[in-house]
């Protein structure tokens, strides 16, 4: 009798779960990989990068920041991103703010839109009918970061760690019109839905001064839970990086990225440096370059190249980057671009 009663009470919840359906258009839950500094080094940033953007690449790295920073990242990305290499459609088109962060070595809070997409006129065909869909969706993530320095500013390493606790919030709306094959309208329907979700990232950095090793696992158990549609799982990403920092003027980073899908490995290589001088304006100029490509089709045409320039002016710093395939640079110059702005508590990060 007790089992029957329990089953009866569970029926409404089981029915609600069974009523959930697939979203009838593709949503990318990964977004743009933030940071002009990261892009300019070919996204080889999990071992080298000491920047607020490191919250995304390896949260352990911000343990080495010297002062707190307000960080804004603007992107113009229609196609070229690290996610394109694993066949994820980029969901953030056009020029817009794609990362906002307020962090210090103890941690911080960041905002990152992982999906902003529109469906103009998608058609799904069946044997006796077809469906037209128009709609839009957006999903944002808020990252709460803690590091090895949280509550322990005297910690000296050499092993540092960092964690992101992520909260997702999203909404979608779409109109669905069902037609017979002779274009006779059968049904019209409008669907509106909202989502919440959760996830985590974890990163470790070993800092041996001239050598750094970084390892990150991102999107651990990350889920976007829709009220009326099926729960979405965000692909887990692994990054392993080896950075060489021989002096204050030049550094390099080699990185391997792998998503928990059937995707291949992604290899990244980046170099960064600055000019030597005494009291000259160009002392604050930073330059960098990088390349990244999937392991299964590595060649000059399928690799993505990037270049960047940055400048420090007191507490303000600006970083710029351009990237693209070879045919986006030559013969016509139309690469994608990225601009990051930082305002620091002092003259150094």
Q: Is residue 170 part of a domain?
A: yes
Q: Is residue 10 part of a domain?
A: no
Identify the CA nearest to 110 among candidates 137, 62, 142: 142
Work out the average pLDDT over 153-175: 94
Q: What are phi and psi of 227, to 5 degrees?
A: -70, -40
Domain of 55?
22-344
In contact, 147 and 171? CB cutoff 8 Å: no
Q: Is residue 15 part of a domain?
A: no
Note the pLDDT of residue 44.
93
Note the pLDDT of residue 33.
87
Note the pLDDT of residue 200.
97
Residue 327, number of CB atoms within 10 A of its CB: 10
Q: Is residue 192 part of a domain?
A: yes
Q: Is pLDDT at 181 greater than 60 in this prediction?
A: yes
CATH number for the domain harbouring residue 156: 2.40.160.40
Written as one string, the DSSP assignment of 281-302 is GGGGEEEEEEEEEEGGG-STTT
Q: Is residue 92 part of a domain?
A: yes
pLDDT tens for each residue of 250-306:
999 999 999 887 778 899 999 999 877 666 667 788 999 999 988 766 677 788 999
Residues near 293 by Cβ (< 8 Å), separated by ≥ 6? 85, 266, 267, 299, 302, 303, 304
Coil, strand, or helix at residue 46? coil
Q: Give me 216's structure tokens.
A: 């990150």
Note the pLDDT of residue 144.
98
Domain count, the chain: 1
Note the pLDDT of residue 240.
96
Identify the CA nearest to 296 among candidates 255, 263, 256: 263
Q: Is residue 17 part of a domain?
A: no
Q: Is residue 75 part of a domain?
A: yes
Q: Is pLDDT at 84 greater than 50 in this prediction?
A: yes
Q: Is residue 166 part of a domain?
A: yes
Work out the average pLDDT over 108-119: 88
pLDDT tens for each residue of 199-228:
999 999 999 989 999 999 999 999 999 999
């Amino acid at each position: 009798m007790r089992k029957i009663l329990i089953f009866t009470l569970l029926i409404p919840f089981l029915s609600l779960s069974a009523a959930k359906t697939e979203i009838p258009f593709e949503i990318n839950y990964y977004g743009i990989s933030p940071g002009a500094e990261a892009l300019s080094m070919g996204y080889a940033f999990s071992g080298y990068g000491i920047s607020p953007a490191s919250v995304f690449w390896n949260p352990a790295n911000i343990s080495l920041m010297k002062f707190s920073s307000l960080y804004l990242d603007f992107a113009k990305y229609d196609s070229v991103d690290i996610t394109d290499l694993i066949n994820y459609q980029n969901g953030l088109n056009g020029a817009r703010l794609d990362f906002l962060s307020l962090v210090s070595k103890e941690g911080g809070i960041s905002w990152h839109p992982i999906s902003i997409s529109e469906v103009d006129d998608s058609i799904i065909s069946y044997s006796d009918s077809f469906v037209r869909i128009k709609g839009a969706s957006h999903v944002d993530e808020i990252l709460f970061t803690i590091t090895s320095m949280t509550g322990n500013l005297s910690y000296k390493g050499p092993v540092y760690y960092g964690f992101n606790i992520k909260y997702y919030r999203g909404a979608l709306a779409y109109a669905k019109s069902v037609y017979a094959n002779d274009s006779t309208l059968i049904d019209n329907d409008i669907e509106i839905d909202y989502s919440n979700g959760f996830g985590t990232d974890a990163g470790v950095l070993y800092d041996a001064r001239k050598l750094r090793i970084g390892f990150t696992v991102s999107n651990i158990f990350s889920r976007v839970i829709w009220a009326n549609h099926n729960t979405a799982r965000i692909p887990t990403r692994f990054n392993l990086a080896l950075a060489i920092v021989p002096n204050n003027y030049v550094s390099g980073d080699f990185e391997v990225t792998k998503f928990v899908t059937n995707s291949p490995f992604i290899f990244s290589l980046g170099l960064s440096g600055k000019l030597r001088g005494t009291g000259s304006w160009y002392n604050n100029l930073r330059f960098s370059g990088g390349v990244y490509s999937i392991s299964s089709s590595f060649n000059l045409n399928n690799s993505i190249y990037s270049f960047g320039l940055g400048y420090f002016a007191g507490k303000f710093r600006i970083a710029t980057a351009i990237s693209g395939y070879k045919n986006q640079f030559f013969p016509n110059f139309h690469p994608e671009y990225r601009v990051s702005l930082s305002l620091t508590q002092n003259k150094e990060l």
